[in-house]
Amino acid sequence: ALEKIDYVAEINRLKKEKNAVILAHYYQTADIQDVADYIGDSLGLSQQAAKTKADMIVFAGVRFMAETAKILSPDKKVVLPDINAGCSLEESAPADVFSAFKAKHPDAVVISYVNCSAELKTLTDIVCTSTNAVKIVESVPKDKQIIFAPDKNLGDYLNRKTGRDMILWDGACMVHEAFSADMITELKAKHPDAEIIAHPESEKPVLDVASYIGSTTGLLKYTMSSPSKEFIVATESGILHQMKKASPDKKFHVAPTVKNGYACQACQDCPHMKLNTMEKLYYCLKNEKPEITLPEDVIRDAKAPIDRMLEISA
């Protein structure tokens, strides 16, 4: 007969036994966030990966995030519950296609959003996250042309914010692109006291109706400090778990999404992030796989632009 596994107890036991640390992204399901040692966004998670003393990093997030952890801690074993957890932004920028594009702009500085493959990072001068993107763009002299990859919505936001004219790669996040400014406005009409807040991976019409725009950590902090008691949140639904925990007296709505012109019920859940489950997390910790491995030269060349980011945003 099948015995029922107490995942929380077993994960906590194995974690101690193996001196492993569980890093979880805010877009993971609530049960995974609750069993993690550290919960954060891309920047916080990479800072954490760089300084951890654990022997093994169990990364509850998507592949590019686990790769970043491996690049920053190459001597540690890095495992990911589901190796198929990709990202539409990562997919939009294959390294060979990008390399040919870059060759046409030999003098440009390449800034890549951390949501990209390790190979793309090797073609990058400075990596950024949504927390430090403005600072990183502004660190490049004004007379320098910049190529920004792979998120066109974040790039367009940064162009408006900094007055730059960066060349934008044509990639987008399938979740943030799905938010509907019209439906958000309709929801706001029903909840007039709710404040609309958005992640800059969202399209311009959504950002235009938001009263605060920020990274996932920025959005979480904003809901804690704002006097508003109700929010409409245009980012992946997983973040609501921490928002509700931090402000149990406040109300949160995930912004509505559309797909092919119809209201979508599940588009605010990232299908990649949500591939991870407690069961897969348990087996990943137990069996120490799937493991993230990268060639030495990729680790070396991808580390330089990440280190530059960590220096600039320190």
Q: Which residues are at the interface with ligand CIZ (CB under 6 A)?
A: 41-42, 115, 129-130, 173, 199, 201, 215-216
Residue with the shortest CB distance to ligand CIZ = 41
Is position 270 an interface residue for ligand SF4 (rule: CB under 6 A)?
Answer: yes
Stretch that binds ligand SF4, among 5-13, 204-212, 241-249, 270-278 (CB under 6 A): 270-278
Burial 258-269 (b: 16+ CB within 10 A, else e): beeeeebeebbb
What is the rounded CA–CA span in Å between residue 251 and residue 228? 9
CB 252 within 8 A of CB 226: no
Among 175, 255, 278, 302, binds ligand SF4 (CB under 6 A): 175
Among ligand SF4, ligand CIZ, none, the one that 257 touches (CB under a kind-dependent 5 to 8 A) is none
Among ligand SF4, ligand CIZ, none, the one that 76 touches (CB under a kind-dependent 5 to 8 A) is none
Closest by Cα among 120, 124, 116 to 146: 124
Is position 197 an interface residue for ligand SF4 (rule: CB under 6 A)?
Answer: no
How far lies 234's CA from each of 164, 239, 291, in Å?
25, 10, 32
Among ligand CIZ, ligand SF4, none, the one that 42 touches (CB under a kind-dependent 5 to 8 A) is ligand CIZ
The 3-state DSSP class for residue 197 equals strand
Helix (H) or strand (E) holding 79: strand 77-79
Nearer to ligand CIZ, 7 or 42 (CB): 42
241 is in an annotated binding site: no
DSSP string across 231-299: EEEES-TTHHHHHHHH-TTSEEEEPPEEETTEEESSTTS-TTGGG--HHHHHHHHHHT-SBP---HHHH
Q: What string marks each residue from 218 to 237 as x (binds ligand SF4 by CB under 6 A) or -?
A: ------------------x-
How many residues belong to the site for ligand SF4 (CB under 6 A)? 13
What is the rounded CA–CA span in Å between residue 100 and residue 96? 6
C-beta of 109: minimal distance to ligand SF4 in Å? Answer: 23
Residue 248 corresponds to which tokens in the numbers above? 């149990």
CB 228 within 8 A of CB 252: no
Is position 46 an interface residue for ligand SF4 (rule: CB under 6 A)?
Answer: no
The 3-state DSSP class for residue 92 equals coil
- Torsion sign, CA atoms 185, 187, 188, 189: positive
3 is in an annotated binding site: no
Is position 198 an interface residue for ligand SF4 (rule: CB under 6 A)?
Answer: no
Is position 173 an interface residue for ligand SF4 (rule: CB under 6 A)?
Answer: yes
Residue 134 corresponds to which tokens in the numbers above? 């403005």
25 is in an annotated binding site: yes
Is position 87 an interface residue for ligand SF4 (rule: CB under 6 A)?
Answer: yes
173 is in an annotated binding site: yes
C-beta of 214: minimal distance to ligand SF4 in Å? Answer: 15
Please enumerate, by residue number, every residue annotated as part of a binding site.
Answer: 25, 42, 87, 113-115, 130, 173, 199-201, 216, 270
User: Rule CB under 6 A: which residues touch ligand SF4?
Assistant: 27, 62, 87-89, 115, 173-175, 236, 270, 272-273
